[in-house]
Amino acid sequence: METPPGGYYFKDPHGREHRHTTFSGLREVARSWYRIAQIEEPKDLDTLLDEQTAKYCAAQGHHHFIEMYIESVSKQHDRLYRIDDGELLPDCNHNYNPGMVEIGDELWLVYRRHVDAGESYAVAVQLDDKYQPIKKTNKIIKLPVYHKYQTDEDPRVWFFCGQLWISWTSWNRGENGHGDWNYMPVMRVAQLDRNWNVLKQFTPEWGGNGKAIQKNWGFFDHDKELHMVYWANPHQVVRFEEDKKNLIGELVGSIPNSLSWDFGQIRGGTPPLRIGDEYLVFMHSRLGELKHGRYYMGAYYFEAKPPFKPVRMTKVPLLAGSAEDEVWDNNVLVVFPQGIVKRGDNLVVSLGVNDKFSAIYEITTQELEKKMLPISE
């Protein structure tokens, strides 16, 4: 089985580090080292060299005889471009998890600006031909206020019936903004004009939204009706209709045992992008606990007709969170895709890295197709 970007390493009794791209390869390196060094193998070497044990320990944040290492995201793909924070709004060290949309010939990034006090809000900025911000175009999007100490996270943007829309997660940071957080994320959506002003807004009715934690909904326009990927496995798609000033959902597709891989539960990512008779999604997953875990990015296609059956996916991550990049105090290693645009044969994906900065991942449709495998029945 292939490994995520990077590989595995172990430290011998002398403290020297040995690396290999595959677990099986490193296992043989370890055995050879003990033979050559004429040092007695540990009695539990077979256990220490067990891949499943190593994966479990890595997922739980524990140490193991052989451990995974992951290269910096910039080394995992030759067309990954970091967004220059110096061209975003000043005085903030956390500009991440951006959505992205093409408006005419202009490419716009909508990033989460997370200030140290815990407050987050969405900012739009135009990108140049090198995927870097045009500083003078930064504009705060004034999203509707539901709580005095509200924070707005993870904006995604897309077009529905020719109109610009945004979705985001909103929650209350506590009575004083610094006390006990009431972490109950609520999904919100709004229609925008081309100057990023809110025209109308909704709190969609689905999945107990507002009463249960809701995140990572993937909205898309299907035949001029608003749809949303709600869940990956089973793959659930919901259609919305506007009724009495709100959006009411109806389940229109549910495919069991559809999307799974070895890198954690698959969750939402980019809004689905229509390519021919299919939709493409770049998604994320996580192994390990939130504060000690590692996120992975993959992709899948599903049919552009009810019940929206998934047909192909990447079984090996395209990217993985890395400790080689800047890491916030929460120590979580993140790659978090949120936006996608197709320009010619190029797929341009916007993502957040380690809750610190934003980046662009570029890949051709042909390159991505080579990484795809059919989803078995």
Superfamily of domain 74-374: Glycosyl hydrolase domain; family 43 (2.115.10.20)
pLDDT, tens only, 207-228: 999 889 999 999 999 999 999 9
| pLDDT given for residue 40 in this prediction | 57
Which candidate, 241, 233, 185, places its Cα nearest to that of 208?
Answer: 185
Residue 57 binned pLDDT confidence (cut-offs 50, 70, 90): low
| pLDDT given for residue 11 in this prediction | 74
**What's CA 5's distance to the chain center, in Å?**
16
At 18, the amino acid letter reads: H
Percent of the chain with pLDDT over 90: 63
At 230, the amino acid letter reads: Y
The overall average pLDDT reported for the chain is: 87
Residue pair 343/357 in contact (Cβ under 8 Å)? The answer is: no
| pLDDT given for residue 1 in this prediction | 39
pLDDT, tens only, 58-96: 555 555 566 677 889 999 999 999 999 999 999 898 999
pLDDT, tens only, 88-109: 999 898 999 999 999 999 999 9
Cβ contacts of 156 within 8 Å, gap of 6 or more: 99, 110, 166, 167, 168, 218, 219, 270, 271, 338, 339
| pLDDT given for residue 148 in this prediction | 77
pLDDT, tens only, 309-346: 999 999 889 999 998 899 886 678 999 999 999 999 99
pLDDT, tens only, 22-55: 777 777 777 777 766 665 555 555 555 555 555 5
Domain boundaries, the chain: 7-69, 74-374
| pLDDT given for residue 180 in this prediction | 57
| pLDDT given for residue 271 in this prediction | 98
Tokens of 377: 């029945």
B/e letters for 179-209, b = 16+ CB within 10 Å, e = fewer, are eeeeeebbbbbbbbeeebeeeeebbbebbeb
| pLDDT given for residue 175 in this prediction | 58
**pLDDT at residue 244 greater than cutoff 90:** no
The per-residue DSSP string of 24-77 comes to HHHHHHHHHHHHHTT-PPPTTHHHHT-HHHHHHHHHHT---SEEEE---HHHH-
Instruction: Determine which of 119-123, 126-130, 296-300, 359-363 has the lowest per-residue pLDDT on average.
Output: 119-123
* Residue in the block written with tokens 């996120």: 295
Residue 19 binned pLDDT confidence (cut-offs 50, 70, 90): confident
Residue 15 binned pLDDT confidence (cut-offs 50, 70, 90): confident
pLDDT, tens only, 183-211: 788 999 999 999 999 999 999 999 999 88
Percent of the chain with pLDDT over 70: 84
